[in-house]
A and B are shown apart, each in its own frame.
Chain A
Amino acid sequence: MTQTNRILVVDDEPDLEPLILQRMRRQIRSNEYEFVFAQNGVEALEKLNADPTIEMVLSDINMPKMDGLTLLQQLPGVDPNLRAVIISAYGDMDNIRTAMNRGAFDFVTKPIDFDDLKITISRTLEHLAEWREALSSRDQLVALQNELSIASQLQQSILPKNPPVTETYEVSANMEPARNVGGDFYDFFKLDEQVGLVVADVSDKGIPASMFMMSSRTALKGAAIGVRDPQMVLEEVNNQLHQDNPTFMFVTLIYALFNPNTGTLTYSIAGHDPPMLVSADGTVTELPRTKGVALGIAPDIVYTQETVTLAPGDTVVMFTDGVTEAMNADNEQFGLTRLAEIFDGNPADSALAANEAVFEHVRKFAGDAPQSDDITCLTLRRP
């Protein structure tokens, strides 16, 4: 017992006080319990209001000024966490039932059996301790949910807005977060004449994933500014992320560099689905895979890259598995085939239209089924 439990005893009969002090002397001496006394309901309320450390009330029923049953009704207004035990006459079931209906935790009968009273007091206090623990878990849960929603907002806020739409290239990007904060992100940034494009998915969900997402994004952008070859960028980012990664988080991504003047797209893939190419004539193909592993899990991985040249009207679609693994009510996955079918014979006339088509089809497919993962798609089109 680390803390003295304070108990208020309410009775108009003067002989209860010395009796309790005598029979509970061991618990009082060891600072387990401390008793406070009042002679009626009115005095009890005064003492409770003056001393918020009182946790438990032991009250008689018949008293002048304010009886025990009325006092019971007043207790929640003083402190909803107070627990009351009623002392009633033996066999007085009417009053006992009324007391229980008014929120009494338990009752003891007169003449008081002190062994029974000790058990009743300790049971009440144990219940209170558990109750407080439950309350604190609930508070922690609420705090955690707040943190999760902050993490979710942070995740959204680092995503760049207003993707570039120019005469030589168009970009469109969107991330629809799952209810549990996930770790998807996209990015686009200008590097002189070229534009860097990223679609990424961090393993797992929750706050650790969102923190890992932040460091991945920063590491990638930092490396991309200093190094030109996507494969070299990924090698550098991989080693950086691996260095201090005790929880084995990892991120899969595509990093692509597009040159609007020549139409060339050079990309390197780290453990991610390859991009999809929708040609101007509506032919859909998967772009070649490159060699590499998800970033952050092992040092000194060698990555390779591929270069393709986009013809006017070609669109490249990069996505996370939130798209292909979106489930419908029958537990079927959206899949690569459905994704390709959106554009088969039906090339988009803008990057934005292509992007919106992906989300529209996924949403329609999933229907009311809950979204378990972030859904991210970035489209690049050469007009």
Chain B
Amino acid sequence: MEFSHDRSGDTLVVNASGRVDGSNASDFLESLQGMFEPGDQKIILDLGGLEYISSAGLRVLLMAAQNLDKQNKSFSICSLTEAVGDVFRISGFDQIINVFPSVEDAKQG
């Protein structure tokens, strides 16, 4: 897993690439949440570089989403590759977590 992030105003865009499965899912969550700052209101996770996500990975995304939701912060994901998009569609997670085609769409959404 590799991360980079870009903050402008109260919007944080996190780019995650690589693979998320059972072996690194909790590290993934920790790294992700470690980037959040109290002032961030809108968090967008750009998964354009993500090759694979397992059910363990979906679970930690759900945890992050619910945590942010409790703090009344917005969380969305965007730029899914075809393979990762399939995982979200088949599992129905695209109905639980906001999914956008691009970072720009996510910023407006």
- A residues in contact (CB < 8 Å) with B: 180, 201-205, 248-250, 252, 270-273, 292-294, 297-298, 301, 321, 372-373
- Hey, which chain B residues are within 8 Å of A204, CB to CB? 22, 25, 55-56, 59
Instruction: Tell yes or no: B92 within 8 A of A by CB.
Output: yes
| 29 A–B pairs (Cβ distance < 8 Å), ordered by A | A203-B56, A203-B58, A204-B22, A204-B25, A204-B55, A204-B56, A204-B59, A205-B56, A248-B66, A249-B59, A250-B55, A250-B58, A252-B55, A252-B91, A270-B92, A271-B91, A271-B92, A271-B93, A272-B90, A272-B91, A292-B92, A293-B91, A293-B93, A293-B95, A293-B96, A294-B93, A297-B93, A298-B96, A372-B22
Is A248 a contact partner of B90 (Cβ separation < 8 A)? no
Taking CB atoms and an 8 Å cut-off, the chain B residues in 16-50 that contact chain A are 21-22, 25
Taking CB atoms and an 8 Å cut-off, the chain B residues in 77-107 that contact chain A are 90-93, 95-96
Given A203-B58, A204-B55, A298-B96, A273 contacting B90 (CB threshold 8 A): yes
Q: List the 4 closest pairs (A to B, CB-CB), nearest first.
A: A293-B92, A203-B55, A271-B91, A204-B56
- Hey, which chain B residues are within 8 Å of A373, CB to CB? 54
Task: List 6 additional contacts besides A204-B59, A271-B91; criterion CB under 8 Å.
Answer: A203-B56, A250-B59, A252-B55, A271-B92, A297-B62, A301-B92
Is B22 a contact partner of A205 (Cβ separation < 8 A)? yes
Question: Given the complex of chains A and B, what is the CA–CA distance between A99 and B22 in angstroms?
Answer: 48
Instruction: Tell yes or no: B63 within 8 A of A by CB.
Output: yes
Question: Given the complex of chains A and B, what is the CA–CA distance between A297 and B59 in angstroms?
Answer: 9
Q: Name the residue among A294, A298, A372, A373 with the largest chain B CB count within 10 angstroms.
A: A294
- Hey, which chain B residues are within 8 Å of A301, CB to CB? 92, 95
Contact of B62 among A201, A202, A248, A272 (CB under 8 A): A248
- Hey, which chain A residues are within 8 Å of B25, CB to CB? 204
Q: Name the residue among A250, A272, A273, A292 with the largest chain B CB count within 10 angstroms.
A: A250
Q: How far is the CB of A272 from chain B (nearest CB, A)?
A: 7
- Nearest B residue to A203 via CB reads B55
- Hey, which chain B residues are within 8 Å of A321, CB to CB? 55
Contact of B92 among A202, A205, A249, A294 (CB under 8 A): A294
Is B55 a contact partner of A248 (Cβ separation < 8 A)? no
- Hey, which chain A residues are within 8 Å of B66, CB to CB? 248
Q: How far is the CB of B97 from chain A (nearest CB, A)?
A: 10
Q: How far is the CB of A134 from chain B (nearest CB, A)?
A: 23
Is B91 a contact partner of A294 (Cβ separation < 8 A)? yes
Question: Given the complex of chains A and B, what is the CA–CA distance between A201 and B87 in angstroms?
Answer: 13
- Hey, which chain B residues are within 8 Å of A294, CB to CB? 58, 91-93
- Hey, which chain A residues are within 8 Å of B91, CB to CB? 252, 271-272, 293-294
- Nearest A residue to B61 via CB reads A248
Q: How far is the CB of B98 from chain A (nearest CB, A)?
A: 13
Question: Given the complex of chains A and B, what is the CA–CA distance between A252 and B62 in angstroms?
Answer: 15
- Nearest A residue to B55 via CB reads A203
Q: How far is the CB of A209 from chain B (nearest CB, A)?
A: 9
- Nearest B residue to A320 via CB reads B55
